[in-house]
Structure 1
Amino acid sequence: MSAVRAAVHVALADLRQRLRSPRYLVVPLLIAWVAQTLTSETTHLVVAGEYTGIRNAAWFGGMVATMGTFLLFVFGFALVRGAVTRDRETRVGELVATSPVRDATYLVGRWLGYIALLSLVTALLVLATVGGYALHGTGTFDLWALASPFVFLTLPAMALVAAAAVLAETVRPLRGTLGSVCYFFGAIALFTAASLATSLTYGPTGLAVIRNSMVRAASADPTAFESRSFAFTDDPGSVTTFVWQGVDWGLTELLSRAPTLAAAGLTLAVAIVAFDRFEPSPGLTDRLAGVLTDDDSSQDDAASASDATEAGHRYTTPPSDVDLTSVTPASSGVPNLRVLTAELRLALRGRRWWWYLAVGSCVVGGLLAPIDAARGLVLPGAWLLGLPVWSELGVREQRYRTAELVFTAPHPHGQLAAVYLGGVAVAIVAAGGVLVTLATSGALAALGAVLVGALFVPALGLASGIWLGTPRAFEVVFLTLWYLGPMNAVYTLDFVGAHPETIARGTPLGVAAAAVMLLIAAVIGRSRQIGQ
């Protein structure tokens, strides 16, 4: 079998396996919702602060492609990531390691599989945009004008997203939550730079290509751009309409995609070099990263594997003087202190020394900082550190294959309560300095908002982990809420109460209601798992 054919087979196998998962059924619904929202009569795209286009096919294609590329660029990483990690956890990687399939062939296959899934999502987005035009559009339908931005802008960006996902799964420190955090903020930074720079036509999302074309069609002054000169709004105010027939795809516009494709190829090449071919011992890049991050998990894993192998070759007879006594199960499903302590230890297991140092610094900072800085800066930073703990809630049993033991216990829901309370304890401890400052300052409403947030975040992690079986969904949702709410003052999403306006608008009440619903969903999901 040729290398190309082998890579294609790897890609197709990954795509088929993903499409069989019920979790991906929600993707078309989200796509339809996004397209309907962007093409509805209440949503307007304003260019250069005072222009908006006639709602023809090209305009719909430009609007949805702009926002759709941004959403897929930020969230597509979490959507596709996981195939290499799955092979590692299910020991399929051991078969790959002993097969004649080369590293480059295997990783290129995974990359192609990720691109195929993202391309399928892009195609669904095009179809949803066509549906939006049929409902709300005007003028003659032009399929190429509508679809070409997706072809020349979205798909090259998806190649870079797929390559970044492969890289994150081959570099040991980036395989977990750290990889998701680094990618999220990196994607936001790239998109922000592309939004502010009018000449950055070679940006990964291609925003400037569409924006500059619209500016030329509107005969607007290209020097009039400000940070919000290309924005979606439901209240455009007094604007001038113009006709935009789509991007004129000349050589300049097409070559502007070359840096994005080159970056994708370079990222994939780095991933191939860093790939350890599922070896239990770390490679050079992993050892270097371990030195920089004090990560000795690879050595621990190798030692454990060695101990297990040696134990398999030893024959031991059971001792004859063991007194086996029956254990009476607890009469209540309420977790006791030992169970709570055990779950908290599991939640904190594997955290490095710098993590504890950072949490301690946030506690001290919350005590010493002014109350506004403590709420708006220290508290969001402290809870960002809790992300790797909360992302494991609800998925730990599947990941470590302990579901059969946990779900057959006398009171599995008591264990679920202990997991949740352990997550709440991490949130309260990380916010301890801020809580003390709020209490001593008499800011009881803000104190209550923080406590409500401490109940909400672990509930979100637990429910999403149980129902979706992956930590990546929670990571994406949490980072989005964290970025938009506390850090960018979107008050309806400010789950930590970082801004006084959040409390004035009653957002903590909505957060509390969401926490209750998420806990109910978690209990229902766990009951469903137990009954299977």
Structure 2
Amino acid sequence: MKYFYNIIKADYLQRTRSYSFLITLVVTVYIAYLFVPLHTAKYTTLDVPGFKGAYNSAWAGYISGIMTTVMLSMYGFLLVNNSIKKDIETEVGLIIASTPISNFSYLFSKQLSNFLVLLTITGCTFLVSIIMFFVRGTDYPFVFSAFLYPYLIFAVPAMSLVASMAVVAEVFLDRKSILQFIVYFFIFGFTMASIKIQGADSLITLLDPFGLKVITNSITNAINSQFHTHINDTSFGFIFRGKQDFQVFVFEGVNWQLPFLLSRIVWIGISLALVYFSSFFFHRFDFKQSVSKKNNKPVQLTADLVSDEKEMISPVGISRALLPPLVFDYSIFPFVKTELLLMIRKGNQLLWLVNAGLWIAMFFVSLPIAHSYLLPVLLFLQVIRWSDLTTKEKTNRLHYFSYAAYRPLFRILPAQILSGIIVAMVMALPVIVRYAIISDLFAVVNIINGSVLIILLAVCLGIITEGKKLYEIIFFMLTYSAVNKLPITDYLGGAPHDNHLVYISVLPGLNIILVLVSFIVRNYQSRHI
């Protein structure tokens, strides 16, 4: 029990004390502030055409609770899916492997630490939702249970499941981070699609791990009963709409049914069962490396080799004539070449087959599909190559050498930025070429600006947080929003915009800010090692 508690405590404190967690928490709190907009806002988070909910406790609490559940389930996996990997990298796992703790107890402790991290963020959004209810001030009374129940019934089982899936992904997919992301987001997308497709009376209400179907059914029932209509179309997420007429309906909350409440307990049981099942396949930090038989062949020493070896051992001193000549090269191109090789060789090489397939497909599919869907997905698949562009020196403790090199601020950092941009441009080349052929200059400039933005974002966030988690989360949210054509996060210009000149001038401004911040912070770090 002592080992079990210590692992949970150490893992939780390590995560919550990191810059990436704190910044993620700040971003999440700000998003929580946007979860329940006023009627005058230009967007909505749960849209029913022609209707808007009155800002009472039930509407504020339930919408905030379900938004927190879905959004945190979407990107919370990226935040907590490296707990076992850290033990491997820091070699703490070797110490844990020698303790009496069982595989299930160790994995269960990791699941609980993941769960506590996600609950910490959930608790902060819970407090923000209550504060915003009082700040915005309405004529409706404050009902605490209207805020507590959705977070307790929706968020807690969902966070338990996400925490377990992070552990299961690390056990079965080892350290293949990008493959873990792909599998999880495929499951997440399939689940969300199933929820939207199924009808109100289907079994999906009980099988929904988020509880989204219960909320949408309750809202449509409230509208239909108050206005005697037959509304079935509800949209979920950050939805931007123009000015339109609407009617206000009063939402009194969910009429909880016993089968649904039992299903939430079942989901918690499923999360524990997944951890227990994965414990039978856990490697327990026992990595057997195969040794090549070629290296085990004994070396036959001939008389010539023996005489040569004696000559080499004899102390004849150092001859400067035998040493290679010194060549001074202060350009950044050797660094660019090195960074490119590091990115190309990073990760599973089979992933390049997927990259090549998407890259070739962008030449043949319709241009809007290639621009709006395939290109964002292809760029996101490179997240593990870009996320540590400026953090690998600190991770491998090489920053003592790199910061002491000749003009590192103007040689190493620009080389990292340039190498990342080269990879991004190559990935986006099919779409750029097709737009250039039809002389669509705006689209070409938008793609170039967007590709540069994601590289500079990786550089800036890596330098500031000294980690890669925050960038992976933000990059995923950008990709998810871009695929869903959310105008405000359309960094590649795939969605239609009213004013091209304004849009095309915003991205270069952001890029300039990111470059300045990166150089200023890195300059301070290099002088204060």
TM bracket, shorter-chain basis: 0.7 to 0.9
8 Å contact from structure 1 (residues 168, 174) kept in 2: no
Counterpart code for 1:465: G
Tell me which residue corresponds to 2:158: 157
Tell me which residue corresponds to 1:141: 142
* Alpha-carbon distance between aligned partners in 2 of 1:328 and 1:519, rounded to the nearest angstrom: 31
Q: How does 1:75-154 map to 2 (within 5 A)?
A: 75-136=75-136, 137-154=138-155
The Cα offsets for residues 248-268 of structure 1, whole Å up to 9 and x where unpaired, read as 334123113144223312332
Compared CA separation, residues 243 and 78, structure 1 to 2 (3 A): same
The Cα offsets for residues 303-326 of structure 1, whole Å up to 9 and x where unpaired, read as 8xx99xxxxxxxx98985474789
8 Å contact from structure 1 (residues 12, 113) kept in 2: yes
* Alpha-carbon distance between aligned partners in 2 of 1:518 and 1:230, rounded to the nearest angstrom: 28
Counterpart code for 1:253: F
8 Å contact from structure 1 (residues 9, 109) kept in 2: no
Tell me which residue corresponds to 1:49: 49
Is it true that 1:443 corresponds to 2:440 in the alignment? yes
8 Å contact from structure 1 (residues 49, 229) kept in 2: no
SS in 2 for 1:171: helix
Q: Which has the higher contact order (CA 8 A, sep 6+)?
A: 2
8 Å contact from structure 1 (residues 495, 508) kept in 2: no
Is it true that 1:517 corresponds to 2:521 in the alignment? no
Runs of at least 5 residues in structure 1 that lack an aligned partner in the other structure: 282-297, 308-315
Is it true that 1:26 corresponds to 2:26 in the alignment? no
Is it true that 1:466 corresponds to 2:473 in the alignment? no
Instruction: Tell me how far 1:63 sits from its aligned partner.
Output: 1.3
Counterpart code for 1:98: S
8 Å contact from structure 1 (residues 6, 105) kept in 2: no
The Cα offsets for residues 182-216 of structure 1, whole Å up to 9 and x where unpaired, read as 32343233234324433432211111222333334
* Alpha-carbon distance between aligned partners in 1 of 2:47 and 2:412, rounded to the nearest angstrom: 54
Counterpart code for 1:262: G
Instruction: Tell me how far 1:227 sits from its aligned partner.
Output: 5.2
Counterpart code for 1:186: I
Is it true that 1:478 corresponds to 2:475 in the alignment? yes
Tell me which residue corresponds to 1:228: 235
Instruction: Tell me how far 1:129 sits from its aligned partner.
Output: 1.3
The match for 1:279 among 283, 286, 297 is 286
Tell me which residue corresponds to 1:375: 371
Aligned length: 497
The Cα offsets for residues 13-44 of structure 1, whole Å up to 9 and x where unpaired, read as 22222233344333453344233323442455
Is it true that 1:204 corresponds to 2:205 in the alignment? no
Tell me which residue corresponds to 1:410: 406
| RMSD (CA atoms) | 3.2
Compared CA separation, residues 381 and 180, structure 1 to 2 (3 A): closer
8 Å contact from structure 1 (residues 398, 469) kept in 2: yes
8 Å contact from structure 2 (residues 171, 278) kept in 1: yes
The match for 1:390 among 370, 386, 389 is 386
Instruction: Tell me how far 1:495 sits from its aligned partner.
Output: 2.3
The worse-fitting range, judged by mean Cα deviation, of 240-249 and 100-109 is 240-249
SS in 2 for 1:52: strand
Compared CA separation, residues 441 and 212, structure 1 to 2 (3 A): closer
Tell me which residue corresponds to 1:193: 194
* Alpha-carbon distance between aligned partners in 2 of 1:425 and 1:521, rounded to the nearest angstrom: 21
SS in 2 for 1:78: helix
Counterpart code for 2:491: F
The Cα offsets for residues 36-93 of structure 1, whole Å up to 9 and x where unpaired, read as 3234424556565344333222221111001111111111112223222111111111
SS in 2 for 1:139: coil
8 Å contact from structure 1 (residues 107, 166) kept in 2: yes
Compared CA separation, residues 378 and 188, structure 1 to 2 (3 A): closer
SS in 1 for 2:494: coil
Counterpart code for 2:255: D
Counterpart code for 2:388: E
8 Å contact from structure 1 (residues 46, 229) kept in 2: yes
SS in 2 for 1:465: helix
Counterpart code for 1:118: L
Compared CA separation, residues 48 and 371, structure 1 to 2 (3 A): closer
Tell me which residue corresponds to 2:59: 59
Tell me which residue corresponds to 1:289: none
* Alpha-carbon distance between aligned partners in 2 of 1:15 and 1:277, rounded to the nearest angstrom: 20
SS in 1 for 2:248: strand
The match for 1:13 among 10, 20, 26 is 10
TM-score (norm. length: structure 1) = 0.83
8 Å contact from structure 2 (residues 442, 500) kept in 1: no
* Alpha-carbon distance between aligned partners in 2 of 1:23 and 1:476, rounded to the nearest angstrom: 10
Compared CA separation, residues 432 and 250, structure 1 to 2 (3 A): closer
8 Å contact from structure 1 (residues 395, 471) kept in 2: yes
Tell me which residue corresponds to 1:490: 486
Counterpart code for 2:275: L
Counterpart code for 1:209: V
Q: How does 1:491-506 map to 2 (within 5 A)?
A: 491-499=487-495, 501=497, 504=500, 506=502
Instruction: Tell me how far 1:504 sits from its aligned partner.
Output: 3.0
Tell me which residue corresponds to 1:243: 250
8 Å contact from structure 2 (residues 21, 470) kept in 1: no
Counterpart code for 1:467: I
8 Å contact from structure 1 (residues 157, 205) kept in 2: yes
8 Å contact from structure 2 (residues 4, 105) kept in 1: yes
Tell me which residue corresponds to 1:263: 270
The Cα offsets for residues 473-502 of structure 1, whole Å up to 9 and x where unpaired, read as 2222222222322x2333443323335648
The Cα offsets for residues 98-137 of structure 1, whole Å up to 9 and x where unpaired, read as 1111111111111111111222222222211111111224
Counterpart code for 1:206: G
Counterpart code for 1:450: I
8 Å contact from structure 2 (residues 46, 234) kept in 1: no
* Alpha-carbon distance between aligned partners in 2 of 1:362 and 1:175, rounded to the nearest angstrom: 20
* Alpha-carbon distance between aligned partners in 2 of 1:117 and 1:524, rounded to the nearest angstrom: 31
Instruction: Tell me how far 1:372 sits from its aligned partner.
Output: 4.2
The match for 1:419 among 416, 419, 429 is 416
SS in 1 for 2:422: helix
8 Å contact from structure 1 (residues 210, 247) kept in 2: yes
The worse-fitting range, judged by mean Cα deviation, of 431-440 and 65-74 is 431-440
Counterpart code for 2:189: I
The worse-fitting range, judged by mean Cα deviation, of 366-375 and 338-347 is 366-375
Is it true that 1:214 corresponds to 2:210 in the alignment? no
Instruction: Tell me how far 1:97 sits from its aligned partner.
Output: 1.0
Identity of matched residues, %: 24
